[in-house]
Chains A and B, each alone.
Chain A
Amino acid sequence: MTTPDVAVIGSGASAVAAAWALARAGRSVRMLDVGVDAPPDAPLVPMADWARIRRTDPHQHRFFLGDSFEGIPLGAARVGSQVTPPRRFVTRDAPTLLPRTAEGFVGLESVALGGLAAAWGAAISPWGPRDFEGLPISLPDLLPHYDAIADLIGVCGDAGDDLSPLMHNPQGMMPPLDTDPASTALLARYHAHRADLQRKGLRLGRARLAACSRIHRGRGPHPNLDLDFWCDHGDAVYRPRFTLRELLALPNFEYVPGVLVRTLHPDASGVRISLRRLADNTAEDTRATRVVLAAGALGSARIALRSLGAFSTPVPLVSNTSTYHAFLNLPAVGAPQHERRHSLTQLTGLFSPPEGGPEMQLQVYSYRSLLTFKLLREQPLAFPEGKSVLRALLPILSLVGMHHQDLPSPDKQCELRAREGSDSLHIRYHTSPREDADQLTAESRVRALFRSLSCFALRRVHLGHGASIHYAGTLAMSDHPGPLNTSPDGALQGLPGVFAADSSVFPRLPARGVTFTMMANAHRIASLLAASFP
């Protein structure tokens, strides 16, 4: 391929969504990516259910703990502890290649094939009309792209549940995966009290997941082996590498791994791209007529700021605050157990205060497949007693992630700081006391509603800001874009021919997860870009 129509930077969820729209529209596409992948000698998880593997596989320590025992979490709990040894490649090399300092921020970045979505929890939450307030696009702009992405990634969920009035059900949504016994008991209890709970602002339903409950695009059906944190059996749970695999079958697509894009230089005939070839650490230039930035909200900001020479120029950064709550789910006591289950989000909840105010999203998980020993360090009993108590409580333990919206503020910013021969991103992220208090109040109200379902909170964990791994706002789109903004079609001001298509363009984050909407928006921006070629 000579100079491609479009170079896409990155291989994460938004990058493959954009590349898919462009390539399918006939544009020639070159994807430039660092592309760290799992080592070829990584241990393979057998195709058997979790309990059978536990009882029979003598090599299970290799994938459960890692060959360097890196899967044993020592010290206080920290961000990324859900990234299991087989998925550790997702964050490998990022701290070296993407240097960063931070105040009040603990987020993760990735230079892996598939980006952070290579370890995505796969819960999808299409945004509602209110979630687009302050954006130059609205829900109708994204609806066809939600459907296109749902077809690409495969989505399952219950189209007739209590979330449906608040959430777009994409066309072709497959039937939901089975919920595990604890979540089934909780949902039954919710249904028995639904009118009262809805009046108080709480709705629960089965999680919408980027997972195939039947065969879709050669993937799935989900094998229900409860191994989703460890492997991708059946390719049922979406990973960007699956779209990359489809892209590689197209003649107008090329994937170039092993390169780190440094700067973009628009000129009369397109964009010159300066990159570093990582194998031999050499600098190199390549060209494209247009460039789509999809290196993540932080990665794309780095490239844009560096290209514009905008050092020490702060740009906004938003990130959902997420906290995790362990609940004793008493309706599940004595519930019959079964092996057929998945490890992803079981239930999704939306809490909207009846008197108005920001929505909060809930994600309900059970705890089993991440192994019991990790919880032993979180409890104060001696290990033998702790083990005995945990074994008894695990079948009735529900973990609820509570996710809050985030709005920009002068205390949430990042800037690129020049260092000798290099640069580093500095993040300063502090929420206001008012935000903290409002979030605590909302969480307290949800805990009270769960108490009415006989679910009792044991503990709240907040790993720090950035732990949600949802970042946005660094190149925010606007109807009246200024410097370092993007226009509604993704065009980045100051860099003609460069378009941002990842979460960097969202000036605020609603409580609902960003990944599915980010992919739909990347598809929208890429479709507009594809149509703009003569």
Chain B
Amino acid sequence: MTDAPDPLIAEGRLLTRYVLGRSPPDEAGPRYAAAVRARFGGSPLHDPVGAAAIRQPLFLPLLDAASGLAAPHSPLRERLLIAAAITETLPQCAHDFMPRPMPWPGLILTLVLAALLTALRLLLGLPLFFLLGGRWRSHSEQPA
């Protein structure tokens, strides 16, 4: 008999991979689950927007972008913050979060690319967010 996989660890793997842009180290998922248990009491995302992002990972960047604008303290954004905190404090991933000084051309290119990508994601993400029942400026889960 095998234990059922911990849905929080699976959620953690998905979100840390998304934030990092590559596979996270093995400890990322369990540590994410421990953090969610410590701060929220420990259930997987269950609000409509958050659950949709977990069920269908293709939606995750769209709903993240939409939530960043429409509901910055929504459950999905709070969980992504935890995923970012966990990955940033793993030595294998720290470099991905450290300041990256760049000259003017690199800086401008970075900002323009981010703006274009964000616009595209918002174009698709905002309708999806509201279709799923997302609410403007909805609040976070209550921290434990």
Contact = CB atoms under 8 A, between A and B. Distances in A.
B98 A54 contact: yes
Contact of B98 (A75, A335, A336, A372): A372
A69 B19 CA distance: 18
A333 interface: yes
Interface residues of A, number: 45
A88 interface: no
Interface stretch (B2-10, B44-52, B73-81, B127-135): B73-81
B18 A392 contact: no
Given A376-B84, A382-B68, A337 B39 contact: no
B77 to A, nearest CB: 7
B22 to A, nearest CB: 11
Contacts of A336: 101
A76 to B, nearest CB: 7
A189 B81 CA distance: 36
Interface in B46-102: 61, 64-65, 68-69, 72-73, 77-78, 80-86, 88-91, 94-102
Contacts of A196: none
Contacts of B91: 54-58, 60
A61 B32 CA distance: 11
A219 to B, nearest CB: 29
B61 A382 contact: yes
A253 B33 CA distance: 49
Contacts of B64: 382-383
B97 A74 contact: no
A69 B110 CA distance: 32
A395 B140 CA distance: 31
Nearest to B101: A395
Given A61-B86, A65-B85, A333-B103, A381 B118 contact: yes
A386 interface: yes
A226 to B, nearest CB: 11
B114 A385 contact: yes
A334 B104 CA distance: 7
B17 to A, nearest CB: 11
Given A55-B94, A60-B89, A61-B31, A394 B72 contact: no
A395 B107 CA distance: 11
Contact of A385 (B73, B94, B118): B118
Interface string B6-41: 000000000000110100000000010011001100
B21 A384 contact: yes
Nearest to B114: A385
Contacts of B107: 333, 392-393
A335 B143 CA distance: 40
Which of B31, B98, B111 has the most chain A CB within a 10 Å cutoff? Answer: B98
A368 interface: yes
A72 B39 contact: yes
Contact of A391 (B21, B35, B73, B99): B99
A391 B143 contact: no
Interface string A491-532: 000000000000000000000000000000000000000000
Given A61-B31, A334-B103, A371 B39 contact: no
A55 B140 contact: no
A75 B73 contact: yes
A373 B85 contact: yes
B80 A392 contact: no
Contacts of A373: 81, 84-85, 88, 97
B81 A337 contact: no
Nearest to A62: B89
Nearest to A73: B81
A81 to B, nearest CB: 13
Given A56-B91, A72-B81, A72-B85, A392 B121 contact: no
Nearest to B32: A69
A35 to B, nearest CB: 27
B39 A65 contact: no
A57 B94 CA distance: 10
Contact of B100 (A56, A377, A391): A391
Contacts of A68: 38
Contacts of B21: 384
Nearest to B84: A373
Contacts of B94: 54-55, 60
Given A64-B89, A74-B143, A389 B38 contact: no
Which of A55, A335, A337, A387 has the most chain B CB within a 10 Å cutoff? Answer: A387
A25 interface: no
A61 B89 contact: yes
A51 interface: yes
6 contacts: A69-B34, A74-B78, A371-B88, A372-B84, A373-B88, A382-B61
Given A382-B65, A385-B114, 18 more contacts: A68-B38, A69-B39, A70-B38, A72-B35, A72-B81, A72-B85, A74-B39, A75-B140, A76-B73, A372-B88, A373-B85, A381-B68, A381-B114, A384-B19, A385-B117, A386-B114, A392-B100, A393-B107
Pick the 9 closest A-B CB pairs, nearest first. Answer: A394-B99, A54-B94, A373-B84, A61-B89, A382-B65, A69-B35, A395-B101, A382-B64, A372-B97
